[in-house]
Amino acid sequence: MPFRFEHHDPETYRRKARLISVAMAAQLIVFGLVLSQLLTTTFGSSLWLNGLGVLLGLIVTSLTFAVLRERPWMTEMRYVWQLKHHLSRVSGYLSTLRREAAQGNDVALDLMTFYHQGMVQLAELNGRTMDDDAELIAERQKIRALRQERGLAERVEGFDPHDLAAFKRS
């Protein structure tokens, strides 16, 4: 399934990410404590039962999160998780993609462009800049120049995971 870039407000994303992180941590603490208390009250006090209560709290929190992640108010979170997942997949092929892009492979150029656009967007959403990494800046400029030479658009719209099949993992 192809992934398409979307625009999301960085401030909204960061606010929701903080809120969801705090809510999930609080939920884990509450469920862990309640389940540990139930287990130790029922079966007697034991370190193992306390640990099992915390583990069960983690499972309940994970299940709750899995159910809630499809809610409309989780749109930004879902998008960032998908973006990170695809960037991670592409990063496993970077050395091969760099070599192929330098040789003028259009698909490799598209994938490298996706990687750099995604990294920039991820940094923006997280409130960081990528201006301090001279290597990445130089690589972005090199890819931009290669794309211009080949008459390709400066940006890509997204990423098709099937495009990676033509390359070997590095």
Give the percent of the chain with pLDDT over 70.
Answer: 99
Work out the pLDDT band at 169, boundaries 50, 70, 90. confident
pLDDT at 84 over 90: yes
Burial of 101 (0-12, 13-18, 19+ CB in 10 A): buried
Burial of 70 (0-12, 13-18, 19+ CB in 10 A): exposed
Work out the pLDDT band at 57, boundaries 50, 70, 90. very high
List C-alpha distances in Å: 149 to 104, 141, 146.
Answer: 9, 12, 5
Q: Who's near 161: CB < 8 A, 6+ residues apart?
A: 1, 2, 3, 86, 89
pLDDT at 164 over 90: yes
pLDDT at 1 over 90: no
- Mean pLDDT (the chain) is 93
Q: Rounded CA gap, 145 and 135, in Å?
A: 15
Q: Is 80 helix (H, G, I), strand (E, B) or coil?
A: helix
